[in-house]
């Protein structure tokens, strides 16, 4: 039972990192990305391959993951963010599809559907993190680090510029902000952090395959962000705590697997719709007065 709770907490930590980093985009910058699962996957594969093929340790893997994730996002962001945000939705959608295709089809690198087994456990400060409880500490520590990084970003002049760009980018440009540079910067950071989560995941489960990084996963991460609220940094944590408990609840109701998967998706879909009506800022968000249509 305890090991089970430990597993839940590790996943909460990982998803908090994913949701916090996505929130930087969706919540703070008003940039919607559907590619976060692909970024998550890039981090996982980059880190796994760094360990398996290059013998890099955990920290090395984290670094590789962050860099590759950042590059992939920048590649897409640079052309698309120069024009309107809707272009980025399409571009991110496409990125998600393409990256998944790469995971599945570049079999010489990724082993395709068979996936990559045998990913080594991390060595942190000389200790091998090989049991769930140690992993809880690692996972929550990295989640806390992500939180602090995001806090620093959003509480600074950069964060102020970000909010200004989100609320009215024309006014921001007139006031001297390089709108495109700001957007590309935040997209890159968001992806670097999302890829970090992938690295954490890969070394925890020790086996990865493409199905964990599909569009469905992007939708799930989006649901976490929406549920928890985009205004507060603690929102993603709350969202993760709640939504990760749902599959377990469904298991208690003894619903067959073939129906359970689409049912979860229906839940996430319904959640997105309902929250847009009732509380677009999410559970933790400050209820703000609606903007006149």
Of residues 62 through 101, those in contact with another protein by CB under 8 A are 75-76, 79-87, 89-91, 93-95, 97-98, 101
**CA–CA separation, 150 vs 159, rounded Å?**
9
The least CB distance from residue 248 to another protein, in Å, is: 20
CB 203 within 8 A of CB 122: yes
CB 184 within 8 A of CB 26: no
Complex with another protein: residue 6 or 95, whichever CB lies closer: 95
**CA–CA separation, 261 vs 214, rounded Å?**
14
Helices (H), 130-168: 132-154, 157-167
DSSP string, 205-235: HS-B-GGGGSHHHHHHHHHHHHHH-SSSTTH
The least CB distance from residue 146 to another protein, in Å, is: 14
**CA–CA separation, 188 vs 10, rounded Å?**
25
Cα angle for residues 225, 230, 235 (degrees, 5° grid)? 65
Q: Which of 65, 172, 196, 233 binds another protein (CB under 8 A)?
A: 172
Complex with another protein: residue 211 or 265, whichever CB lies closer: 265
Question: By CB neighbour count within 10 A (0-12 exposed, 13-18 middle, 19+ buried), where does 253 fall?
Answer: exposed
Interacting positions 227-266 with another protein (CB under 8 A): 258-259, 262-263, 265-266
Other beta carbons within 10 angstroms of residue 160's beta carbon come to: 12
| Span between the terminal Cα atoms of the chain, in Å | 51
Q: Which of 125, 126, 287, 290 binds another protein (CB under 8 A)?
A: 290
Binding mask 175-214 for another protein (x = CB under 8 A): xxxxxx-x--x---x-------------------------
Binding mask 26-65 for another protein (x = CB under 8 A): x---x-x---------------------------------
The least CB distance from residue 230 to another protein, in Å, is: 10
Q: Which of 109, 127, 171, 245 binds another protein (CB under 8 A)?
A: 171
**CA–CA separation, 115 vs 104, rounded Å?**
9
Complex with another protein: residue 152 or 251, whichever CB lies closer: 152
Complex with another protein: residue 67 or 219, whichever CB lies closer: 219
Interacting positions 128-167 with another protein (CB under 8 A): 149, 152-153, 156-158, 160-161, 163-164, 167
Binding mask 214-233 for another protein (x = CB under 8 A): -x---x--x---x-------
């Amino acid at each position: 039972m305890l090991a089970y709770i430990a597993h839940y907490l590790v996943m909460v930590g990982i998803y908090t990192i994913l949701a916090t980093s996505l929130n930087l985009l969706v919540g703070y910058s008003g940039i919607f990305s559907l590619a976060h699962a692909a970024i998550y996957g890039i981090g996982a594969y980059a880190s796994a391959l760094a360990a398996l093929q290059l013998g890099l340790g955990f920290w090395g893997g984290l670094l590789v993951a962050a860099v590759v994730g950042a590059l992939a996002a920048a590649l897409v962001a640079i052309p698309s963010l120069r024009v309107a945000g809707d272009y980025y939705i399409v571009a991110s959608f496409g990125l998600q599809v393409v990256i998944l295709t790469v995971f599945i089809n570049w079999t010489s690198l990724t082993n395709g559907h068979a996936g990559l087994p045998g990913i080594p456990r991390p060595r942190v400060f000389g200790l091998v993190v090989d049991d769930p409880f140690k992993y809880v500490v690692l996972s929550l520590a990295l989640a806390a680090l992500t939180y602090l990084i995001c806090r620093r970003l959003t509480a600074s002049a950069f964060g102020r510029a970000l909010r200004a760009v989100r609320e009215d980018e024309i006014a921001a440009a007139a006031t001297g902000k390089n709108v495109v540079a700001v957007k590309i910067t935040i997209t890159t950071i968001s992806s670097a952090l999302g890829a970090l989560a992938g690295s954490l995941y890969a070394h925890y489960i020790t086996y990865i395959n493409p199905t964990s990084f599909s569009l469905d996963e992007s939708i799930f991460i989006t649901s976490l962000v929406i549920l928890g609220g985009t205004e507060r940094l603690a929102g993603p944590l709350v969202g993760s705590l709640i939504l990760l408990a749902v599959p377990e609840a469904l298991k208690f109701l003894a619903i067959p697997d073939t129906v359970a998967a689409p049912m979860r998706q229906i839940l996430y879909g319904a959640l997105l719709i309902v929250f847009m009506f009732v509380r677009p800022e999410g559970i933790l968000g400050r209820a703000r007065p609606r903007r006149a249509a």
